[in-house]
Structure 1
Amino acid sequence: MTNSEPIVLDALVLGGGFGGIHMLHQLREMGLTVVALEAGTGVGGAWYWNRYPGARCDIESLVYCYSFSPIIDDEWSWTERYATQPEIVRYINFVCDRLDLRKDICFNSRLVKATFDEEAGFWTLHTENGDVYRARHFVSSAGPISEPIWPDIPGREKFKGEIYHTAKWPQQEPDFRGKRVGVIGTGSSGTQLIPLVAEQAKHLTVFVRTPNFYANANNRPLTDSDQAWWMQNRTRIRERLRTSEIVGSGDVFMNEGMLATRLRKGDEYSENERREILEKRWQFGGATMPRAFVDILTNHELNDEISGFLRAKIAHIIKDPATAEIMTPRNIYFGTKRICVGTNFYETFNRPNVTAVGVKKTPIERFSEKGLVVDGKEHEFDVIICASGFDALTGALTVIDIHGVDGKTIKDVWSKGSDTYLGIGVAGFPNLHLIGGPGSPSVLVNVVMANEYQVGWISRRIKYMRDHGLTRVDVDPDYQAKWSQTVKDVIQGTVLVSADSWYVGTNVPGKAKGILAYAGGMVNYKQACDAAAERKYEGFVFS
């Protein structure tokens, strides 16, 4: 049922994931009238949609969760080192119910249009099903990695078999038994999905476009002693997260000796010592390799050495040399794509029912009625799975018709570059507050921790406005330009300047190339945001 008159709110929150429900809770605690819109039938955000086989987080579950609520801390326990998608969704539902948030979330409500009324100082927001809202503040927590993209391959509609996207997975699990399955993509989703589909399928063919570096998760159940250790050390670990001594990508249980190397340059060790350090991290599991030494992204020779170490692992694990070569990243620096974390990924390519097809030099030409055509050869399938990634950081908003001052759309404004101020505001879009937006570090750090910080910062700014009788906040274009330059400057002198991945938007045809996230780390980011807040939110224009 649609509302006949616009529902008037202090704030509307977009998204029912980690950031969205925390923002909803925070604003409600401040006494604001607020509603959250969620396109799905339940909470979870990206985790609601990404329910493919094997989906799990690559940040350790103990720190991939909220820290703002003692109630949640006391009443929830994780079961595995890296939580599965179902457990993460159960956690978000638990939080939602425990804090009584569900009554203020509108499900099956996909936002399609948002227009800022300059005279009234309100946003008018329309959903796909016809509901209309008017809100003073529009907070987007649509998710930095939530807008899926299909492979840029013609003829998809011609395929007569089953076709799925990992980020649009059906609620009823498909049955792959006895079927010929093709998978396009070997990024994070493909890495997790491929081993499990291979166990079911009659034959699995993996089309490898740009192979990536990979680490074994070394996942395991969390024991009673693990839980006791966590209760005893939780406060200390969270403080170390805030100072980036650890990041949660495999280092929560890491001993001090292994952690210490992250502060030293690679050339402070001998070649044999470096290899021993890398081997220990490989065996320990998780995405711990990027922090083995302090200068991995700035020392090209060291980066090459680490890349070589990981390439040797591929050659050792995959028995067929030709297949190993297809799966080996070449001509890219380690760290210019997000390292994938999974279980039995490389080992899966030793199965007799699994084939890898390299399509970097000879791309997939088209879909056909029976499958996919590569180099003139038709590969026939019953099922095709596209693990083809996302339009990261900007896509979740550019698919919405968002109009700011003078009718400018956010899609047009970001068509030449995803400029923001502090990853939180966009010039010309008053009272639009971003969680996990471009120019923030969200996708390069523990995103839940980054979300928590931004939720708190945005809430304090809204309180500042209310306390001072202010109703409108916009971004000073000069400050936005300076921050955008800072985001670009941070990667100078690092291997990230050569990135050719979703980090810079090159996975989306036509998208402006440029670093999408702030790569200076969470500590530096918080310092910049806190400094602006201390100077009465310098760079923002209030009225």
Structure 2
Amino acid sequence: MADRRHEDDGILDVLVLGGGFGGLHSLYRLREDGHRVLVLEAAPDVGGAWYWNRYPGARCDVESLVYCYTFSPVIDAEWRWSERYAARDEIVRYLRWVSERLDLRKDIRFDSRLAKAHYDAADNLWNFETEGGDRYRARHFLSAAGPISAPIMPDIPGLDRFQGDIIHTARWPEAYPDFAGKRVGIIGTGSSGTQVIPIVAQQCEKLTVFLRTPNFYSPARNRPLTDADHQWWQQNRDLTRERLQQGRRWGGGDIMLDDEINDAMFEPASNFTTERRREIYEARYANGGGVVGWAFADAMVSVDANEEAGDFLREKVRDAIVDPAIADKLTPRGFAYGTKRVTVGTDFPETFNRDNVELVDVKTETLEGFNERGAIVAGREIALDYLIAASGFDALTGALTTIDVRGKDGRSLGEIWADGPQTYLGISVLGFPNMYMIGGPGSPSVLTNVVMTNEMQVEWIADLINHVEDNGYVRCEATAEAQNEWTEKVGALVRGNLWETAESWYVGANVPGKPRVILAYAGGYTAYKAECAEISAAGYPGYRFTTENGH
């Protein structure tokens, strides 16, 4: 281990924001490289977004065998997942165990919510202040706050008048509410809503689901992992990870999928007969996970291929729901498959067959607002004891724009990104020297297996920081030309295809006033990794490095 630390002057080499997957790996890697590192985590424990998302039914929609670290042989050898799709509690246990097994906790400050991060151009240092008043200084600032860590509440008139309890799924109370005999309303049928609705429906007297836009849905087919599964994993782990790196597997329900079925995704749908395409859709649906619509290479290019996948899933909704009128309301239409996040769960459509579940389509029955007792819908009052807001996040940008982050010219990141985020590689921002982002806008982030992309970015950023320190530089900053070219590339990737039609949180459409631009790099993990590797191999073109004397 090289010791790159400066004299013990109370200045950190790197301050890392966030104690989730990206933050823990960053701490481990940078500390191994000899840097003085500290992690700030707002929660009382590790877990990142998973710590807060403790709503009932919270579960990953990427298979647990590949939703985990690959950088540590120790972790690989000793951890054993219990289910195909890990539940929230198991993911948090995993991260807590990693933090203990790798002796990371001593360098994490819990219950420390960052309020300010200001770059001092005179000292070439970042100055930090937490909401509790703690202050730190560091040469480098690495944000691993995560792409979905800033929850938003629905903007509905009178919501502040409601006298019942309001719970956001991303801020679920540790003391679990007792819904027995209670009337519960839920706003939101995205990923969180899809998972929480079937559970709460079993616990409460009456559940009212307020629906605006139904999403495409696939069953997870979750199950306990058996000894045979773990034996298969030991035999196929390296090959599976290699295929993931090559883009030949995604992990959303396909790592054990038959090769012939999986490999169809590298060919256009028109290469197959109608009957064979149906067989492939059925095989993917039976296998489980959010992989049905990605059956063919032109899923986001060909309107016909996309519509066929959508029709298949619409048919499955109609098959699952007894009442045709309710099935019609829950049938997604008016947008292309994949342009909104595909939801994955267990018994979601079937839940609407229950007698104690009411579906309110707010596009046909206007949700006028709330009063003290509940919701007012098309002139009638729906009395509620609890309201659950499964209303999502200010994705990719909100984690940093909700903090007072200011660059070398004193301008805030929120101001800089007012018309849409601009970044270099989704990692760096012009005017913010020595600041790096994991899972930031302009990176593949939420359009990939986030843990896998996080690992790649952690290693790349650590190499960049080492390059800065080993060469005696005091500043590392993206150039305007490189940032403009990358931002243009991110936008160009969705032009002329179905991504361009998106009206979802992928483009910020769920946040009033947020610019409508694609927030993530849509070229895929493999292409992104190759671009980053080419840049590092060439000595980091696109960055301007400055020494103490300004050269």
CA shift for structure 1 position 289: 1.3
**Partner residue in 2 for 1:158:** 161
Identify the match of residue 346 of structure 1 among 345, 349, 352: 349
**Partner residue in 1 for 2:96:** 93
* Matched residue type, 2:458: V
Equivalent residue runs for 1:28-427 within 5 Å: 28-427=31-430
- Matched residue of 1:416: which SS? coil
Equivalent residue runs for 1:464-475 within 5 Å: 464-475=467-478
Matched, 1:487 2:493: no
Alpha-carbon displacement from aligned partner over 1:206-261 (angstroms, at most 9, x marks no partner): 00111100000001110001111111111111111111100100001111121121
CA shift for structure 1 position 7: 5.0
- Matched residue of 2:146: which SS? coil
* Matched residue type, 2:529: K
CA shift for structure 1 position 308: 1.1
Question: Number of matched residues?
Answer: 538
* Matched residue type, 1:309: F
Alpha-carbon displacement from aligned partner over 1:415-453 (angstroms, at most 9, x marks no partner): 101110000000000111100000000100000000000
**Partner residue in 2 for 1:23:** 26
How far, CA to CA, are the matches of 2:194 and 2:430 in structure 1?
A: 38
CA shift for structure 1 position 377: 2.0
Matched, 1:502 2:508: no
**Runs of 4+, deviation exceeding 6 Å:** none
- RMSD of aligned residue pairs (Cα, Å): 1.0
Relative to structure 1, is the Cα distance of residues 363 and 243 closer, same or farther in structure 2, using a 3 angstrom cutoff?
farther
Q: Is the 8 A contact 2:248 2:263 kept in 1?
A: no
* Matched residue type, 2:517: G
**Partner residue in 1 for 2:5:** none
Q: Is the 8 A contact 1:209 1:363 kept in 2?
A: no
Q: Is the 8 A contact 1:186 1:208 kept in 2?
A: yes
Shifted more, 463-472 versus 387-396: the winner is 463-472
Q: Is the 8 A contact 1:7 1:132 kept in 2?
A: no
Q: Is the 8 A contact 1:213 1:334 kept in 2?
A: yes
- Matched residue of 1:328: which SS? coil
* Matched residue type, 1:119: A
How far, CA to CA, are the matches of 2:293 and 2:98 in structure 1?
A: 32
Q: Is the 8 A contact 1:191 1:342 kept in 2?
A: yes
- Matched residue of 2:334: which SS? coil
CA shift for structure 1 position 317: 0.8
* Matched residue type, 2:104: L
Shifted more, 194-203 versus 155-164: the winner is 155-164
* Matched residue type, 1:360: K
CA shift for structure 1 position 465: 1.0
How far, CA to CA, are the matches of 1:465 and 1:292 in structure 2?
A: 43
How far, CA to CA, are the matches of 1:132 and 1:438 in structure 2?
A: 27
How far, CA to CA, are the matches of 1:155 and 1:542 in structure 2?
A: 53
Alpha-carbon displacement from aligned partner over 1:189-215 (angstroms, at most 9, x marks no partner): 000000000001101010011110000
Q: Is the 8 A contact 2:293 2:306 kept in 1?
A: no
Shifted more, 515-524 versus 271-280: the winner is 271-280
Alpha-carbon displacement from aligned partner over 1:289-335 (angstroms, at most 9, x marks no partner): 13200101100011111111111111111111111111111111101
How far, CA to CA, are the matches of 1:370 and 1:364 in structure 2?
A: 14
Shifted more, 266-275 versus 208-217: the winner is 266-275
* Matched residue type, 2:163: K
How far, CA to CA, are the matches of 2:239 and 2:294 in structure 1?
A: 20
Point out where structure 1 has 5 or more consecutive residues left out of the alignment.
1-5
TM-score, normalised on structure 1? Answer: 0.98
Q: Is the 8 A contact 2:168 2:388 kept in 1?
A: yes
CA shift for structure 1 position 363: 4.2
* Matched residue type, 1:454: Q
How far, CA to CA, are the matches of 1:363 and 1:116 in structure 2?
A: 47
CA shift for structure 1 position 492: 1.6
- Matched residue of 1:116: which SS? strand
Alpha-carbon displacement from aligned partner over 1:370-413 (angstroms, at most 9, x marks no partner): 11122222211011000000000000100001110211100001
Identify the match of residue 436 of structure 1 among 405, 415, 439: 439
- Matched residue of 2:507: which SS? coil
- Matched residue of 1:11: which SS? strand
Matched, 1:447 2:453: no
How far, CA to CA, are the matches of 1:427 and 1:360 in structure 2?
A: 42
- Matched residue of 2:508: which SS? coil
CA shift for structure 1 position 362: 4.5
How far, CA to CA, are the matches of 1:503 and 1:236 in structure 2?
A: 31
TM-score, normalised on structure 2? Answer: 0.97
* Matched residue type, 2:90: E
CA shift for structure 1 position 361: 4.3
Q: Is the 8 A contact 1:142 1:396 kept in 2?
A: yes
**Partner residue in 1 for 2:6:** none
**Partner residue in 2 for 1:542:** 545
